[in-house]
């Protein structure tokens, strides 16, 4: 609860700081300091709340438990890393640097609400608080037509999916007479009101839109590609991970008892997401666009966790969220250093910047799920969650095949860096500080790959 | 102190990291100092732990839990170290002898441009070996086991520009892998039957829980583990890599042969003594293979001319003795021989390195002779090594070898006589080597003679220390007729349980000792008379057979390697090229084709996107309400 308040206040502070501070880089410094402050508040929250007794707020509309606090803390940590790595790039996007950071703090506020909501209204609020700043951020490069197009597309389709979410909530209310998500857990599979089932499917589709699951994924490549790259990095990571956390919270807590009714549909969605994400990524020429398709493909794997209604799935989504976010932010950081976003832009990077090429390789290994990186452990956990469920063996096999395809487009970057002749051009030489940060990020990826338990130690 | 055990492998690891990462920039001398200091530090900690373990107040093994290694489902494997009498003894041998070899290397390798890398590998080697003996479960042991395999590959092929050397390295690796497979299967059987890999838990369950195969489970597991030991400790039929391993720098040979690597198999079986006591059939196999290897390798050593090859085959033969001891259930005796062998074999190898150093790289003993006059320290220490390995009373080898022979006699007199024959051959070929190298007249070129010199003190001091140890090392285990108190056996007794204690009459034991040492002296005199001048006449008949190592390499090549190569050629031609390649490329093309189609859906039109979404929603609803239900 402290974190929600703090995120809001810090966002406002950031906004007013923009009026006072003319120097862009001092704005970035302030943002980094505030992000650390927010992380501190999260940790305070975490330590102060006993593990056994969740706290309810606002007539129990928010229910702050260990999972929620730990997830919020992790996502704030990722945001801190993000501001450290990407902060300098954000000031290049446009003039209102302070506002961009303010919007990111507001997004974090949404993240916190989504991690602890206990009521459908709070889910709706959280989703909107999460989304609206993103519409703005997507269009923040005002003079760039593609950016404006991305913003508008995102907004239109987002509005459409909001409608569907509200429709689902309404149907659920109609069937049960309650907005409380715990109340839905009393739904019985054998005597299920079709209204309720319809509501479940509508909510699933709306949340599927937020996490870019097929066939609701079509906005993703255009928006991710068109938005300014620093914000793409954020949308594809923290925002998506939080939407997933909201997704899994609702479907495990509320609809776990009627899982036999919706798992088949979700398995179809999962399979379609994996197929479309991976297949389409193969043909891309731009690494940025490839990464947006790969984020669809990764969403397919995260859907495994939603599909499996058990405790391992919770662990899986946390590990996946962090491992995937760190690796993706890392790779976007490298991408932003380059002038050319196509595969050819990476040609010969290993000779020019060996360290940059090396960390990129580790990030890509993680995304592809090669052992000893966080990505491997993440995939291992979500797949294990499904295997424990003992139901969707075909989907697991299909997922593994798709993971094999993903190696193709991830490793193309590595091939370009190490085996192709070329002169990868950078915007500016990479500073020592950035190198240290990238190495730390890379170290985190490997650390998670070896000791995934670290990410579960607080729950 | 025992809680600090993690420091022991940590120091070499740090040394490896420093030298390994800085191999371009670190000066050679500094690399030597870093590498040696790392091992010295480990040795100091080991000594501290030894005193604690050896004190009467120490009870049972201490488990030092570092972290949870694998934890999934029912499988739980912690990364834990076990400190007890057995592992501590090996710690002392590995770090102690290892340290001397490191010191020796600082001088021996000083002219090599890859010296920093060399020390990095050497430290990694010691690190792996320490993991192997420290692990409290088979998986940690296996990590170390594989680690030494890798390091031996790196070090045997250290001079990788020479094709033969890299082939030798490959051979060592492949032979080891064959054994490793046995170890892996054994581990999986343990896991399957007992659900744990930790020594304590596994041994505790052994007697009470019969496995899936009933009584035979013990034998199956024991045989599989033994196959691993065969590969690592170079026993028939997987021994051929060890003589070839001479391709590495000489101190590496000393490290592989004396302190580390080859003793791993002995350690593993001694560690699993509880299991092997339940598997008498396997023990019988162990004894037979050990004895066969001891005799076989000894025959080959008689006719070798390369100074290191003789020593290599003598190592194989001595390892055979150790396995014989294990096979007759005398585990402590085998460990005793590991220890004394570590001293005198390291001494002999380092001595031969000193000789090769002086001869400017020459290794053929027919071209040496009379070196004793120029290299007094090397000569005397080498002589002590030879006396020790030959089992002359008073030297360490006598005590341990005599104990093996006595245990064998008590087990089965026929095995004893065969082992005695192998011991006799040992005395013969070792002194043949000694006389040809150090006595008589110099037979090399004039240039070489002029160049002959004693090695620097960094090389001779380790020799002297090892020579002293080769003499006194045996007094920790006096024969029963001399002293009732066997220090080593009582030290190891809490960990290793010998199968059946034999008590023989004092007269018999005196007789056996007299017989073996008397015969050894006879063989030494015979070696002296037979080898005053080497003959360069090509060998014929049996001698030729021996010189060519019974043609085992050629037989392996003809029976295994070539048919396999032919089969793989056929598969490559018919299955790989036309079958698998077609499928793989077909899949790739299919994916690219699909990708090319699907990406067309991404039109950029919001209206179309929403239309697709609506279609999707309709389809999902159709599935929900009319489709299959689980």
Residue A186 exposed, middle or buried by CB count within 10 Å (0-12, 13-18, 19+): exposed
CA distances to A446, B435, B565 from B375, in Å: 54, 14, 49
How far off is chain B from A444, nearest CA to CA, in Å? 18
The CA distance from A173 to the nearest CA of chain B, in Å, is 19
Chain B environment of A164 (Cβ under 8 Å): 617
| Residue B629, min C-alpha distance to chain A (Å) | 7
Q: What are phi and psi of B153, to 5 degrees?
A: -60, -45
Rg of chain B, C-alpha, whole Å: 28
Residues of A in contact with B596 (CB under 8 A): 283
Please report the residues numbered 570 through 599 in chain B whose beta carbons come closer than 8 angstroms to any beta carbon of chain A. Answer: 588, 591-592, 594-596, 598-599
Q: How many residues does chain A have?
A: 459
Residue with more model confidence, B1 or A113? A113
* pLDDT digits 0-9 by tens, B562-618: 888 888 888 888 888 777 888 888 888 888 888 888 778 888 888 899 999 999 999
- Give, in degrees to the nearest 5, the angle at Cα B42 between B380 and B471: 25
Which among B591, B612, B625 has CB closest to A405?
B591
CA distance A325 to A334: 14
Partner residue opposite B606 with nearest CB, options A153, A209, A276: A153
A279 and B594 within 8 Å at the Cβ level: the answer is yes
Higher pLDDT, B508 or A207: A207
Question: Which residues of A are less than 8 Å from B612 in CB distance?
Answer: 215, 218
Given the structure tokens 């204690």, which residue do they identify? B501
Q: With an 8 Å Cβ cutoff, are A215 and B623 in contact?
A: no
Give percent of chain B with pLDDT exceeding 70: 96
Closest CA of chain A from B6, distance in Å? 19
Q: How far apart are CA B314 and CA B321, in angstroms?
A: 11
Which pair of structure tokens corresponds to residue A283? Answer: 């043909």
Identify whether the C-beta of residue A421 lies closer than 8 Å to the C-beta of residue A296. Answer: no
Helix pair A194-210, B606-626: axis angle to 10 deg: 140
Cis? peptide before A215, omega within 30° of 0: yes
Which chain A residues touch B613 with a CB distance below 8 Å?
Answer: 157, 160, 209, 215-216, 218
Give the mean pLDDT of A220-230. 93
Least Cα separation, residue B579 to chain A (angstroms) = 20
Model confidence, pTM: 0.71
Nearest residue, CB atoms, B598 vs list A197, A209, A276: A276
Nearest to A260 among B608, B621, B630 (CB): B630
Do strands A62-64 and B62-72 pair parallel, antiparallel, or not at all (unpaired)?
Answer: unpaired
Task: Report, as an integer, the average pLDDT of B201-212.
Answer: 76
> Which among B73, B75, B597, B599 is the top mutation candidate for probing chain A, defined by the most A β-carbons within 10 Å of its own β-carbon?
B599
Closest CA to B389 of B378, B398, B380, B377: B398
Radius of gyration of chain A (CA): 21
Q: Is A162 on the interface with B (CB under 8 A)?
A: no
pLDDT reported for residue B534: 67
Mean pLDDT of B119-139: 90
Give the list of residues 6+ apart from residue B478 with CB closer than 8 angstroms, or none. Answer: B399, B485, B486, B487
Kindly determine whether residue B606 and residue A265, on different chains, have CB atoms separated by under 8 Å.
Answer: no
pLDDT digits (tens, 9 = 90+) for A135-166: 999 999 888 999 999 999 999 999 999 999 99
Six token digits for residue A426: 């950078």
Which residues are A57's β-sheet partners?
A62
Question: What is the distance between the alpha carbons of residues B130 and B145, in angstroms, rounded to a whole number?
Answer: 10
Q: Which residues contact B449 (CB under 8 A, 6 or more apart)?
A: B442
Among the ranges given (B90-94, B185-189, B474-478), the one the predictor scored with the smallest mean pLDDT = B474-478
Q: Is the pLDDT of residue B630 over 60?
A: no
* Distance, C-alpha B505 to centroid of its chain: 36
Count of pairs with CB atoms under 8 A, one residue in A, one in B: 86
Interior CA angle at B524 toward B288 and B416, to 5°?
25
Q: Is residue B126 pLDDT above 70, yes or no?
A: yes
CB < 8 Å to A263, chain B: 630
pLDDT of residue A366: 94
Q: What DSSP letter does each residue of B508-523 carry, written as one string? A: HHHHHHHHHHHHHHHH
- How far CA B444 is from CA of B303, B361, B535, in Å, comes to 20, 12, 14
Closest CA to A293 of A280, A308, A302: A280
Question: Nearest to residue B305, comparing CAs of B349, B257, B362?
Answer: B362
Given a cut of 60, is residue B629 above it in pLDDT? no
User: Quick check: A211 pLDDT over 80?
Assistant: yes
Tell me the shortest Cα–Cα distance from B66 to chain A, in angstroms. Answer: 13
Query: Which candidate, A128, A149, A125, places its Cα nearest to that of A138?
Result: A149
Q: Is B303 helix (H, G, I), strand (E, B) or coil?
A: coil
Cβ density class B52-64: b for 16+ within 10 Å, e for less: ebeeeebeebbbb
**Do the chains contact at B612 and A391, CB–CB below 8 Å?**
no
Q: What is the pLDDT of residues A316-341, one digit of tens each?
A: 999 999 999 999 999 999 999 998 88
Domain segments of chain B as ranges: 314-537, 548-598, 600-630
Query: What pLDDT does A192 receive?
Result: 84
Token readout for A388 is 């424990």
Longest dimension (CA), chain B: 105
Interchain CB contact of A186 with B (< 8 Å): no
Rounded to two decimals, the ipTM of the complex is 0.89
The structure tokens listed for B220 are: 């199956």
Per-chain mean pLDDT for chain A: 91
Angle at B440 between CA B438 and CA B445, to 5 degrees: 85
- What count of other Cβ atoms lies within 10 Å of the Cβ of residue B538? 8
Residue A265 touches partner B, C-beta closer than 8 Å = yes
User: Rounded mean pLDDT of chain B?
Assistant: 84
Burial class (CB in 10 A: 0-12, 13-18, 19+), B615: exposed
Which position has the token pair 């003594």?
B273
Q: Please write the tens of the pLDDT for every residue from A263-316.
A: 989 999 999 999 999 988 988 889 999 999 999 999 999 999 999 888 889 999
Q: Is B605 on the interface with A (CB under 8 A)?
A: no
What's the mean pLDDT in B462-476?
A: 86
Please give the pLDDT value at position B583.
Answer: 83
3-state helix, strand, coil in chain A (%, to 5): 80, 5, 20
Q: Does any CB of chain A come closer than 8 Å to the CB of residue B622?
A: no
Average pLDDT of the residues in B86-108: 89
Which residues in chain A have their CB less than 8 angstroms from residue B66's CB?
Answer: none
Residues of chain B with C-beta less than 8 angstroms from the C-beta of A153: 606, 609
Per-residue confidence at B533, pLDDT binned at 50, 70, 90? low
Of B68, B612, B630, the CB nearest to A264: B630
State whether B620 and A201 contact (CB < 8 Å).
yes
Q: Which residues of A touch B67 (CB under 8 A)?
A: 451
Length of chain B measured in residues: 630
Contacts of residue A168, defined as CB under 8 A and 6 or more positions apart, other chains included, come to A198, A199, A200, A201, A202, A203, A204, A205, A206
> With contacts defined as CB-CB under 8 Å, which chain B residues touch A260?
629-630
Is A189 in CB contact (< 8 Å) with chain B?
no
The mean per-residue pLDDT over the stretch B339-362 comes to 86
For A145, the token pair is 């037509």
Angle between helices A287-307 and A393-419 (to 10 degrees): 160
pLDDT at A368: 93
Using the Cβ of B71 and the Cβ atoms of chain A, whether some distance falls under 8 Å is answered with yes
Q: Is B626 on the interface with A (CB under 8 A)?
A: no
A50-54, A68-72, A192-196, B407-411: range with highest mean pLDDT:
A68-72
- CB of A203 within 8 Å of a chain B CB? The answer is no
Q: For B594, name the nearest residue in chain A, comparing CA atoms only.
A: A279
User: Cβ B616–A216 below 8 Å, yes or no?
Assistant: yes
pLDDT at A171 > cutoff 90 = yes
């Amino acid at each position: 609860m402290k974190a929600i308040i703090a995120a809001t206040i810090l966002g406002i502070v950031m906004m007013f700081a923009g009026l006072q501070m003319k120097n862009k880089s001092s704005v970035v410094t302030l943002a980094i300091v505030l992000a650390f402050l927010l992380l501190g508040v999260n940790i305070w929250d975490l330590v102060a709340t006993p593990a056994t007794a969740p706290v309810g707020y606002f007539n129990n509309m928010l229910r702050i438990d260990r999972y929620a606090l730990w997830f919020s803390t992790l996502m704030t940590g990722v945001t801190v890393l993000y501001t450290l790595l990407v902060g300098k790039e954000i000031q290049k996007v446009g003039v209102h640097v302070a506002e961009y950071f303010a919007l990111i703090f507001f997004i974090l506020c949404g993240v916190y609400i989504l991690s602890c909501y206990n009521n459908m209204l709070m889910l709706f609020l959280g989703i909107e608080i999460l989304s609206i700043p993103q519409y703005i951020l997507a269009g923040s490069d005002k003079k760039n037509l593609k950016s404006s197009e991305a913003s508008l597309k995102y907004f239109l389709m987002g509005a459409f999916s909001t409608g569907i979410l509200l429709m689902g909530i309404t149907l659920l209310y109609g069937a049960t007479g309650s907005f409380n998500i715990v109340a839905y857990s009393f739904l019985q599979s054998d005597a299920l009101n079709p209204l309720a089932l319809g509501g479940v499917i509508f909510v699933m589709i709306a949340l599927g839109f937020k996490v870019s699951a097929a066939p609701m994924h079509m906005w993703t490549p255009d928006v991710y590609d068109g938005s300014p790259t620093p914000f793409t990095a954020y949308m594809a990571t923290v925002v998506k991970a939080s939407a997933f956390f909201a997704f899994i919270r609702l479907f495990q807590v509320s609809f776990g008892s009627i899982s036999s009714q919706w798992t088949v549909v979700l398995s179809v969605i999962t399979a379609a997401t994996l197929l479309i994400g991976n297949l389409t990524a193969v043909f891309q020429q731009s690494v940025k666009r490839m990464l947006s398709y790969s984020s669809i493909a990764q969403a397919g794997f995260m859907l495994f966790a939603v599909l499996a209604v058990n405790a391992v799935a919770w662990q899986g989504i946390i590990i996946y969220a962090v491992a995937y976010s760190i690796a993706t932010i890392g790779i976007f950081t490298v991408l932003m250093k380059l002038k050319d976003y196509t595969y050819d832009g990476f040609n010969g990077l290993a000779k020019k910047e060996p360290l940059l090429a090396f960390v990129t390789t580790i990030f890509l290994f993680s995304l592809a799920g090669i052992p000893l990186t966080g990505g491997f452990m993440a995939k291992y956990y979500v797949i294990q969650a499904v295997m424990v469920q003992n139901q969707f063996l075909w989907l697991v096999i299909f997922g593994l095949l798709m993971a094999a395809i993903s190696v193709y487009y991830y490793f193309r970057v590595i091939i370009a860096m190490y085996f192709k002749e070329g002169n990868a051009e950078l915007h500016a030489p990479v500073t020592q500080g950035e190198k240290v940060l990238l190495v730390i990020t890379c170290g985190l990826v490997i650390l998670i790959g070896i000791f995934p338990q670290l990410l579960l130690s607080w729950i | 102190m025992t809680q600090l055990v993690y420091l022991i492998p940590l120091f070499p690891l740090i040394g490896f990291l420093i030298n390994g990462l800085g191999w371009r920039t670190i000066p050679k001398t500094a690399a030597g100092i870093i590498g040696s200091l790392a091992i010295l530090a480990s040795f100091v900690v080991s000594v501290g732990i030894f005193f604690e373990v050896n004190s009467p107040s120490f009870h049972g093994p201490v488990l030092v839990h570092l972290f949870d290694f694998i934890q999934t489902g029912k499988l739980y494997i912690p990364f834990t170290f076990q400190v007890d009498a057995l592992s501590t003894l090996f710690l002392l041998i590995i770090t102690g002898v290892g340290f001397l070899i490191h010191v020796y290397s600082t001088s021996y390798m000083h002219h090599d441009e890859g010296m920093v890398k060399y020390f990095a590998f050497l430290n990694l080697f010691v690190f792996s070996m320490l993991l192997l003996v420290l692990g409290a479960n088979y998986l940690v042991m296996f990590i170390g086991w594989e680690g030494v395999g890798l390091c031996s590959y790196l070090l045997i092929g250290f001079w990788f520009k020479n094709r033969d050397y890299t082939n030798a390295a490959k051979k060592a690796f492949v032979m080891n892998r064959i054994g490793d497979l046995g170890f892996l299967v054994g581990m999986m059987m343990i896991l399957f039957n007992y659900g744990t890999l930790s020594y304590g838990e596994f041994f505790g369950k052994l007697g009470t829980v019969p496995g899936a195969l009933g009584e035979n489970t013990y034998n199956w597991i024991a045989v599989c583990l033994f196959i691993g030991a065969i590969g690592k400790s170079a026993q028939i039929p997987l021994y051929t890599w060890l003589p070839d391993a001479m391709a590495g720098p000489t101190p590496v040979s000393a490290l592989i042969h004396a302190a580390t690597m080859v003793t791993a198999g002995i350690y593993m079986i001694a560690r699993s003594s509880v299991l092997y006591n339940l598997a008498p059939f396997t023990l019988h196999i162990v004894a037979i293979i050990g004895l066969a290897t001891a005799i076989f390798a000894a025959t080959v050593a008689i006719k070798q001319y390369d100074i290191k090859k003789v020593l290599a085959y003598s190592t194989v033969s001595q390892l055979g003795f150790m396995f014989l001891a294990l096979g007759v259930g005398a585990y402590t005796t085998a460990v005793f021989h590991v220890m004394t062998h570590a001293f005198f074999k390291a001494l002999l190898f380092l001595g031969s390195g000193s000789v090769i150093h002086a001869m400017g790289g020459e290794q053929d003993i027919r071209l040496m002779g009379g070196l004793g006059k120029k290299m007094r320290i090397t000569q005397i220490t080498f002589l002590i090594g030879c006396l020790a390995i030959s089992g002359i009373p008073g030297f360490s080898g006598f005590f341990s070898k005599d104990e093996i022979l006595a245990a064998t006699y008590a087990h089965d007199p026929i095995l004893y006589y065969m082992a005695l024959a192998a011991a006799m051959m040992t005395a013969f070929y070792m002194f043949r080597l000694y006389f040809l190298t150090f006595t008589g007249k110099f037979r090399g070129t004039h240039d070489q003679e002029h160049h002959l010199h004693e090695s620097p003190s960094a090389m001779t001091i380790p020799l002297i220390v090892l020579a002293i140890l080769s003499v006194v090392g045996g007094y920790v285990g006096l024969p029963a007729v001399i002293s009732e108190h066997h220090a080593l056996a009582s030290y190891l007794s809490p960990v290793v349980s010998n199968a059946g204690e034999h008590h023989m009459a004092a007269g018999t034991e005196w007789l056996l000792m007299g017989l073996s040492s008397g015969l050894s002296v006879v063989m030494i005199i015979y070696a002296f008379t037979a080898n005053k001048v080497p003959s360069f006449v090509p060998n014929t008949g049996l001698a030729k057979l021996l010189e060519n190592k019974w043609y085992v390499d050629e037989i392996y090549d003809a029976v295994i390697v070539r048919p396999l190569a032919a089969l793989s050629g056929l598969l490559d031609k018919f299955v790989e090229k036309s079958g698998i390649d077609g499928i793989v490329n077909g899949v790739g093309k299919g994916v690219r084709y699909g990708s090319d189609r699907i990406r067309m859906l991404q039109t950029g039109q919001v209206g179309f996107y929403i239309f697709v979404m609506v279609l999707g929603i309709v389809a999902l609803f159709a599935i929900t309400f009319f489709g299959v239900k689980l």
